[in-house]
Amino acid sequence: MSNYVTAIGLDVHARSIKAFALNPMTGECERASFGYDPAAVAEWALGFDSPRAVYESGVTGFHLCRALSALGLECVVGAVSKMQRPAADRGRKNDRRDAEFLARLLATRNVVEVWVPDGRTEAARDLSRALADARDDLQRAKQRMSKFLLRHGHVFDEATPTGARKGNWTRAYWRWADAIEFDEPDDAAAYEHYRDCVRRCQEARDALARRVAEAAGRPGWKPVVDALRLVKGIDVATAFLLACEAGDFSRFRTAPEFASWCGLVPSEHSSGETSSRGGITRAGNAHVRSALVEAAWHVPMSSREPKPLAPGQEAAPAVRRHAAKCNRRLQDRREAMEAAGKRPVVANCATAREMACWVWAIAGMASA
C-alpha cells in the first residue's frame, strides 16, 4: 500500500460526484461537489497533501479511476461488498455521508481494493459479455416464438425416416415455421414480429461469436485461450471469457483463492465446536461462475482421452499433459460424487469448483 496523507472519498453518480477530504493527522476535512468531471476532481484533490481517492465499485465502472490516475491523482476502487457500515448509519444515507464514510475507511486502511483492468482487458471483457447477452436474448426470443405457436395449436413434430423427431430451430423447423398462416391479421403481425426477432438475435449472436473468435486469436489472449481450450467443456468463447474476466491470473496467489473469487466455495456458519457448511457462496464474479458451471455439465459426457488440438491451436507439451491430467481428475471427481449419492446439481458444482482450480493452474502455466 502506498504512503498517503489525505484520504478522499468520492460518491460517484452518472452526473454528479460528492467528495470528502480528510487528513487523519490533523483532523482537517473539506467537502466539495462536482459534475462528472475527472479534471475538476483531480485539480481539487491535488491541492491536498499526498492525496489518495477511493470510490465504490458498481455500475460507474473504472473510467473515473483510470482518468484520475492519468491526471496524477492516485485512485482506487473499493469493493462495496467488503465495506462494513455501522448499523446506526444505515438509516441515514445520502451522498455527503457516503463520501465521508469512504474517506474514513480509506484513512484507517480498511478499504479492500478491486483490481482495475486496463482498457484492452475491459474492452475484451465487454465483448465477451455482449456475446453472453446475445445468447440470452436469442433464448428469450425463441421462447416467445415457440410459446406463441403453442398457444395457437402449432407444434413441430416432423420425424426422420427412422422415426426420430427432428429438432427445433433446424432448417426443417424453419420451413415448417415459415409456412404457418393465421386467420386473424393481428395474430399474423404478432407472429411475424416474434419470428423476425429470433432471426435478428441469431444474426447478432453469430456476428459476436465471430468477433470473439477473432479477438481470442490475438497475441495478448491466444496463449491462455489455447491452453484453456484443452479442458473438456471449454470452447473458444468460454476460454476467452475466463481469460478476460480474470485478466491476470497471477493476482490470485492460490487456486482456492481463485475458486473463492468465482463464488464456488462452500458457505460456512461455524461457532465453537459446531461446524456447519452450506451451499456455495455465489460471491465474486457471476460471469465466470456461470461459465464454469455450464462447462462442468459436459464432463460426464466426455471420454477420458486427452482433448486433441484444433486447427491453429497451440500449447506447450507441459500444458497439454497438465490439461489431460485435469480432464481425468474432473471425471474421477464427478464419478465419486455420483457414487456417493450426491444430487446432480451438487456434483456439478463440486466439479465446477475443481475445474476453477485447474483453470487457474493451466492459465498460469500458459502465461508464464
How would you write the pLDDT of the chain (368 residues) with one tens digit per residue? Answer: 468 899 999 999 999 999 999 999 999 999 999 999 999 999 999 999 999 999 999 999 999 999 999 999 999 999 998 888 877 777 788 999 999 999 999 999 999 999 999 999 999 999 999 999 999 999 999 999 999 999 999 999 999 999 899 999 999 999 999 999 999 999 999 999 999 999 999 999 999 999 999 999 999 999 999 999 999 999 999 999 999 999 999 999 999 999 999 999 988 888 777 778 888 989 889 999 999 999 999 999 998 899 999 999 999 999 999 999 999 999 999 999 999 999 999 999 999 999 999 999 999 999 87
**CB atoms inside a 10 Å sphere around CB 159:** 10
The three cell numbers of residue 248 are 491476470
Give pLDDT, residue 295.
97
pTM of the model: 0.91
Using an 8 Å Cβ cutoff, are 168 and 146 in contact?
Answer: yes
Give pLDDT, residue 90.
74
Q: Grid cell 423447423 — which residue?
A: 173
Q: Grid cell 497451440 — which residue?
A: 314
3-state secondary structure of 195: helix
| First-to-final CA distance of the chain | 25
Per the DSSP assignment, residues forming a β-bridge with 1 are none
29-35 and 16-22: which strand pairing? antiparallel
Task: Calculate the dihedral angle through the C-alpha atoms of 180, 184, 188, 194, rounding to the nearest 10 degrees.
Answer: -100
Distance CA 284, CA 298 (A): 23
Q: Which residues contact 342 (CB under 8 A, 6 or more apart)?
A: 350
Give pLDDT, residue 142.
98
Residue 27 Ramachandran class (φ > 0 left, ψ -120 to 50 alpha, else beta): left
- State CA 197 to chain mean position distance: 26
Task: Calculate the dihedral angle through the C-alpha atoms of 261, 266, 267, 268, rounding to the nearest 10 degrees.
Answer: -130
Using an 8 Å Cβ cutoff, are 204 and 131 in contact?
Answer: no
φ, ψ of residue 27 in degrees (nearest 5): 85, 0
The three cell numbers of residue 135 are 445468447
Rounded to the nearest 10 degrees, the angle between the axes of helix 344-367 and helix 317-339 is: 170
